[in-house]
Structures are given as C-alpha cells and as structure tokens.
Amino acid sequence: MSSTQTPAQLGYRMPAEWESHAATWLSWPRREGISFPDSFDRVLPALKQMVGALIGNGQSGSDPVCINVVNGAHEAEARAVLDALPHQECITYYEIATNEPWCRDHGPIFLTRDVDPKLAIVDWDYNAWGNKYPPFDLDDVAPTRVAELLKVPVFYPRMILEGGAIEVNGAGALLTSESCLLNKNRNPGLSRAEIEKRLRDFLGVKEILWLGNGIEGDDTDGHIDDLARFVSETKVVTVVEENSDDANYRPLQENLERLRRMKTGGRKLDVMILPMPKKIVREGMRLPASYANFYIANKCLLVPTFADPADEMALSILRKCFPDRRVVGIDCRELIWGLGTFHCLTQQQPAV
C-alpha cells in the first residue's frame, strides 16, 4: 500500500475466527522439510482428515481449501493424499512456495472493512520463531505472494509476528502472551508500548490483553493458540493443568488468574476451563499437546485429540461453546511431533 494511513485509520479490522470464511489456507508440508523428522508419511492421514472435514459435503458454508505448493511435483504429492476425497472442486492449489507447513504463523493475516477494497493483508516480518529454524525466506514472503494472487492491498508493519501469537474477538480485543511477543528474539528494538501500538494500528484492535508464559515444549515461546482462545466476544476458553507436579501447572494457573481479572468493552471475561492431555514425551522431548489449538471453520470445529482420557471432556466443552458447528476430533499424536496441530496449520480468509 502506498497510503501513509494505517489499516485502522482506513477502517480495517481483523475479524474473529468464527466470522464467515471465504476459504481456509494451508501450506502443504515438504518431505525434505524439518517439521516431521522421520515421520512424514505418518502425519498424512491427519492432514487428509483435516481437509476432508473442512470441505465437508461441498455445499455452501463449507470451507473451500487453498493449498500452497512449491511446484507441480509438490502438488502431485498433495494430490496423492487428497484426490480420494469427494468435492475436489473445493480444493485449489497455488504455486506459492513455503519452507514449512505452519500457515498460521507465516501466512497472511487478513483484514476486512465495509468499503472497497474490502479485503486486505498484513505481511508481518517472519523469522521462524526467533531464528530457530532456518531457512525461512520463502515463508517470510508468502503473505505478499497471496496478496498478489488475490489482487488485494498489503500492509507492512515492519515487526516480527506470527499468527499463532495473537487471538482476536473481532470487536476490538486481542489476547497475546508476554513470553512470546516481548521475547528479545523477535523485536529487540521495540518496547511493549511500541508493539501494542503496531497491533492497534495494523489489526484495528483497541485493547491488548496479556497472558504470561506458555506451555512446556512449545518452541514458539508461548503462542496464545496453545493457551487461551476467544469463543465469543466476551467468552474465553483456557487450558488448565490439574496435576500440581506438572511443569505447566503454575504458568497455566497464573494465566487463569489473569483472565479472571480481565475485561473487554467494560465487561468481565467469561472464562471456561479446558483440560490438558497427559504429558506426551517423544525421543526425550515434551511435546506441546493442547486442546486449545482447535480451528474454527464455517461449519465445523477441528479439535486435536491425543488418545487421552481428557479427549472427550475437551470435545464436550467445545460443543457447548459452538452448538451450531460439528465438533470434529482428529487424532494428532503424530501431528504434534511437528510441535503444532490444526490451528498452527490453517489460516482463514474472511468472506467479504
């Protein structure tokens, strides 16, 4: 955008995830990538189930799926998994190369407003969660590539931010975590006040609500989408660990206490508790399994499950939050080896 005005000044805002989608964007994983070491083939069934749930019966209201691929050979790999699904007309492949599949974090953040152009994209800088996983050059430019494809305006805040680090209610409030956004591996030159100003200017939010630390094993330094999620303008679900000997117990209790003190639009937040699955350790590493990493699609809610006794309780709680959507639990014991699940893999394009 050549305009010197910010998106907020131009009337743009980031919609809530439960608002109507035109599509869901994914970046198909690469076999040579680093996200699923020695287990690439084992994550494909969960990806197929995810896409199948999104396109549903192919009727109005289901999420069309847009998939970023590197080239024709990569598209063929994705098709080998997905072509067996019905309603292929709901899947579109785009030659937009990415390094890794975590579209929530490297993908475009979409904004909307009531006048043309109604849709816009924010292209935040991206450094693979604090320069942990180079190379990330393709991921960094993916939002602008999508903007060129869709022929929509693009804004550049000149600040590092991943989509999984922020959660909005569509009505002016944004949830985030200090452990991630204030980490010096992201924006060492920016103060908390400067970071807040950019969030307000580029996402059209007014209130910034801060939680503290993330869960053990989360290599993102504490993304909000593993911790607490808006399920309405004034209601939040947050994960809580009941075992006081677990490393997650104290940080999640502290986050719960913060949420219970928070207000948005002058009203106290309605806080609902989600359980945590039992500790999952693989090759000596704790994996960041969390039921909060669900994705809200037009007609369904995709929820990671872990063959855990708490799975059914988490699904039941989320059914109460989303009575108008089909709540789909999908086994993510292989997917979580990549340190993320459905919310990390998806990015919604709002309908305008």
Q: In the structure encoding, which two tokens stand for residue 286, read together?
A: 């704790």
Q: How far apart are CA 68 and CA 54, in angstroms?
A: 16
Asked if residue 6 is part of any domain, the answer here is: no
Is 11 within a domain?
no
Position 93 in a domain: yes
Q: What is the mean pLDDT of residues 76-90?
A: 97
Look at residue 8 and tell me if it is in a domain: no
pLDDT above 90 for 57: no
pLDDT tens-digit profile of 99-157?
999 999 999 999 999 999 999 999 999 999 999 999 999 999 999 999 999 999 999 99
199: CATH: 3.75.10.10
Name the pLDDT band for 2 (thresholds 50, 70, 90). very low
What's the rounded mean pLDDT across residues 231-255? 98
- The per-residue pLDDT for range 275-322, each reduced to its tens digit, is 999 999 999 999 999 999 999 999 999 999 999 999 999 999 999 999
Beta carbons within 8 Å of 191's beta carbon, 6+ residues apart: none
In a domain, 278, yes or no: yes
- Domain residues for the domain of 319 are 21-350
pLDDT digits (tens, 9 = 90+) for 198-210: 999 999 999 999 9
Domain-embedded: residue 14: no
> Residue 51: what are its φ and ψ, rounded to 5°?
-65, -40
Q: How confident is the model at residue 188 (pLDDT cuts 50, 70, 90)?
A: very high
- The tally of domains found in the chain comes to 1
Residue with tokens 């939050």: 321
- Specify the pLDDT at position 21: 97
Percent of the chain with pLDDT over 70: 99
- Predicted local confidence at residue 3, as pLDDT: 63
Active site residues: 344
Strand runs labelled E in the chain: 21-27, 65-69, 91-95, 109-112, 119-122, 154-155, 167-168, 173-177, 207-211, 228-230, 235-239, 263-264, 267-268, 270-274, 281-282, 285-286, 295-296, 300-305, 326-331, 347-350
Mean pLDDT of the chain: 97
pLDDT above 90: residue 4: no
Global pTM? 0.97
Q: Is residue 120 part of a domain?
A: yes
Look at residue 155 and tell me if it is in a domain: yes
Find tokens 């992201």 and name the residue: 186
Tell me, what's the pLDDT at 58?
81
Q: For residues 129 and 233, what is the distance between their CA atoms, to the nearest angstrom?
A: 28
